[in-house]
């Protein structure tokens, strides 16, 4: 057996590093086969305590992107009852778990919201897809590949426990101005830098009281990331709290539709434009 060349040695080093950081390599390999690297797929990483505001952000961001002629897919990668379907105003009783346990197909559990935004819940279960029955696993993998390749050209994945952010090349950390949220965001960033060092990391400040507050927090976050983690992170924008936003959540109607001329809608459009600018950038293979 010959000696490894530099590329092989580097690949082995990366693999050992990922194992040491708790990355499931079987899951990583499956994701590498179904997620096109040239597809704008963004992991929106938040916390369970702020799940409602994360869902509100992703639902309205999906609609904002759809108004920009994008075919959008939103995947909720958590098992909580609060999910993006509540924001989109659609009933979504089935999820990915039903494909494995009840033998449904992807088209049975994929729901269409406003402006043809596609929604799928329970996506985190694919972490254990190796344990599925082979026939149903292969069919799901084929269907989800086709979905990524043909049905959606921008995909948002919501997570509250790091899975996808440790593996995919584009990550967006979502946090609010509270001290608890800012500390949690930094901890998540630190773990991502260890497990997924080549990822393009951006962030959004959610539920800010003003642009000035958000800008100050954003500057501190970028400086801290650069100084202590040696990581460049991009600020995508802010979602400011407003009465219209609160009303839209209660009505289960996205503010991008019910209050499309509001400040909240104006801010989310800016974030959407910045997301598309980031998606145009080349990512480094991990």
What CATH number is associated with residue 13?
Answer: 3.40.50.300
Sign, CA dihedral 127-40-49-108, equals negative
Given this model, what pLDDT does residue 21 score? 52
| 111-169 pLDDT tens trace | 999 999 999 999 999 888 888 888 888 899 999 999 998 899 999 999 999 989 998 99
Residue with tokens 């996808």: 164
The answer to whether the CB of 154 falls within 8 A of the CB of 279 is yes
> How far is the CA of 196 from the CAs of 28, 78, 95, 248, in angstroms?
11, 20, 28, 36
Strand 233-240 versus strand 118-121 pairing type: unpaired
**pLDDT at 236 (0 to 100):** 98
**Residue 90 falls within a domain, yes or no?**
yes
Number of domains in the chain: 1
**Hey, how many other C-beta atoms are within 10 angstroms of the C-beta on 212?**
9
Say if 92 falls within a structural domain: yes
Q: What is the domain extent for residue 151?
A: 6-279
Tokens representing residue 90 in the block: 């659609």
For the stretch 55-84, pLDDT in tens is 999 999 999 999 999 999 999 999 888 899
Distance CA 162, CA 264 (A): 28
Which among 36, 45, 61 is positioned nearest to 283, based on CA atoms?
Answer: 36
Q: Which residues of 129-164 are buried (b: 16+ CB within 10 A; e: fewer)?
A: beebeeebbebbbebbeebbeebbbbbbbbbbebbb
**What tens digit of pLDDT does each residue of 161-217 get?**
998 999 899 999 999 999 999 999 999 999 999 999 999 999 999 999 999 999 999
Sign of the dihedral defined by the CA atoms of residues 106, 112, 117, 123, in that order: negative
Q: Is residue 285 part of a domain?
A: no
- Do the Cβ atoms of 114 and 257 come closer than 8 Å? yes
Indicate whether 286 belongs to any domain.
no
Inside any domain, residue 255: yes
Q: Is residue 267 part of a domain?
A: yes
pLDDT tens track for 242-269: 999 999 999 999 999 999 999 999 999 9
In a domain, 195, yes or no: yes
**3-state DSSP call for residue 114?**
helix
State the residue for tokens 């965001």: 185
Residue 238: inside a domain? yes
- Closest of 158, 118, 76, 114 to residue 254, by C-alpha: 114
Residue 97's nearest CA partner among 127, 128, 138, 125 is 125
């Amino acid at each position: 057996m010959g000696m490894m060349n530099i590329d092989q040695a580097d690949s082995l080093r990366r693999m050992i590093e990922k194992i040491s950081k708790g990355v499931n390599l079987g899951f990583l390999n499956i994701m590498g086969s179904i997620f096109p690297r040239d597809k704008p797929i963004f992991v929106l990483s938040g916390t369970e305590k702020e799940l409602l505001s994360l869902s509100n952000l992703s639902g309205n961001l999906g609609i904002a992107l759809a108004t920009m002629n994008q075919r959008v897919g939103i995947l909720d990668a958590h098992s909580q009852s609060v999910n993006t379907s509540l924001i989109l105003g659609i009933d979504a009783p089935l999820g990915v778990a039903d494909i494995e346990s009840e033998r449904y197909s992807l088209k049975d559990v994929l729901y269409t919201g406003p402006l043809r935004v596609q929604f799928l819940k329970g996506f985190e279960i694919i972490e254990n897809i190796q344990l599925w029955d082979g026939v149903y696993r292969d069919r799901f993998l084929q269907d989800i590949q086709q979905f990524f390749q043909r049905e959606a050209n921008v995909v948002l994945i919501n997570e509250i426990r790091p899975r996808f952010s440790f593996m995919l090349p584009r990550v967006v950390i979502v946090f609010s101005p509270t001290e608890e949220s800012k500390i949690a965001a930094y901890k998540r960033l630190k773990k991502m830098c260890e497990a997924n060092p080549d990822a393009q990391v951006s962030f959004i400040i959610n539920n800010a009281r003003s642009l000035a507050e958000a800008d100050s927090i954003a500057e501190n976050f970028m400086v801290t990331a650069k100084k202590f983690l040696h990581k460049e992170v991009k600020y995508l924008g802010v979602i400011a709290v407003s009465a219209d936003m609160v009303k839209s959540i209660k009505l289960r109607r996205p503010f991008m539709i019910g209050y499309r001329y509001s400040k909240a809608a104006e801010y989310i459009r800016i974030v959407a434009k910045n997301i598309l600018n980031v998606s145009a950038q080349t990512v480094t293979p991990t």
